[in-house]
Amino acid sequence: MLPNTGRLAGCTVFITGASRGIGKAIALKAAKDGANIVIAAKTAQPHPKLLGTIYTAAEEIGGKALPCIVDVRDEQQISAAVEKAIKKFGGIDILVNNASAISLTNTLDTPTKRLDLMMNVNTRGTYLASKACIPYLKKSKVAHILNISPPLNLNPVWFKQHCAYTIAKYGMSMYVLGMAEEFKGEIAVNALWPKTAIHTAAMDMLGGPGIESQCRKVDIIADAAYSIFQKPKSFTGNFVIDENILKEEGIENFDVYAIKPGHPLQPDFFLDEYPEAVSKKVESTGAVPEFKEEKLQLQPKPRSGAVEETFRIVKDSLSDDVVKATQAIYLFELSGEDGGTWFLDLKSKGGNVGYGEPSDQADVVMSMTTDDFVKMFSGKLKPTMAFMSGKLKIKGNMALAIKLEKLMNQMNARL
């Protein structure tokens, strides 16, 4: 872990989306230095699925926290929070644009309401919060804007499956390019993005039970942000990866950030970490890549009947417990030899598999080649990695689609 130095003592840090997760972790780290924290988030009442409100966060942070109800889509709420911060603390030294909305859906499966939410929270909200804070940041000796957003990777693979989300998130990153130049010498403007998946309540909802073992703690983002805050204004226009900057700080043991030390980690989006590339990179250090699970007893290359044999093995692995834990029907549209339409019913008692359409409507439709399908079920290709690299197309409930990954791990363990 990166030790605190006390250099942020007396500074005021304005953080959007700070009631939980990454935003709250950054707040706690800065508060340990003696910084004043403005918790600018919209959760004032307890959420049924997501723990934490602006008030519980303020209580955890301590006496120098100012909880403000802020929906970043509302310019008046942002302005009101900035005014409260100036009145209570006298200025703003650091702005963290952390608030974000996500929907990993393709063009036809993204409702206009969801599109508007992502654009208004990610892109527009970041702009409005920055615009409101900049006049005060200009007066600060510290003067940092930090956007929690990815490097601008124009590889089409990061657009094809979730174009709207990528554009909304890249909007935050483009502000880094523009504002770093616009306010050069006055305000440092940078982006920070994790190398691996980070365990948050939102990740639990997206990935389902068990996803945390493939994640790092929010502490790694907090430490990386803290490192950036201590740099001079000349450090600007950078797209920082958490692990990289902490290595520069001398951190060598990254197991301290892992939820389950030693367990393989899930690479994050937008970093071109394809299965083959990650495999070679990780194996070169003697580790085992997360997508390379124990193999099912299948031939390495699909032959005639390989898909049928895979489904037979899957069927033998089913149980009432698996059905109860999953509650989903998956439809597989497979191209190539031994392909066609297959289903995996994990709603009916005991579960079922078969060729053709299921008796009830599928919750998730997955399209891929038979070759990749067998690799996926034999543990050679993770569903998440297949999706990220464009080998797998998904329609329907994304959370249930991600649940399938854990199910496959359980099946592999049994076999």
Annotated catalytic sites, by residue?
165
At 133 the three-state DSSP class reads helix
Residue pair 38/96 in contact (Cβ under 8 Å)? The answer is no
- Whose structure tokens read 């496959």? 408
- Positive or negative, the Cα torsion across 332, 335, 336, 338? positive
- For 219-249, give one letter per residue: b (16+ CB within 10 A) or e: bbbbbbbbbbbebebebbebbbbbbebbeee
At 47 the three-state DSSP class reads coil
H/E element, 11: none
Closest to 336 (Cα-Cα) out of 385, 369, 373, 290: 369
Q: Which two tokens stand for residue 54?
A: 């602006």
Please count the residues of the chain: 415
CA dist list (Å): 88 to 36, 146, 299: 10, 22, 67
**What is the C-alpha to C-alpha distance for residues 298 and 296, in angstroms, rounded to an integer?**
6
Could you give the maximum distance between any two Cα atoms of the chain, in Å?
73
Q: Which two tokens stand for residue 390?
A: 């464009």
**What is the C-alpha to C-alpha distance for residues 313 and 191, in angstroms, rounded to an integer?**
46
**What is the C-alpha to C-alpha distance for residues 176 and 188, in angstroms, rounded to an integer?**
9
Q: Which two tokens stand for residue 28?
A: 């706690």
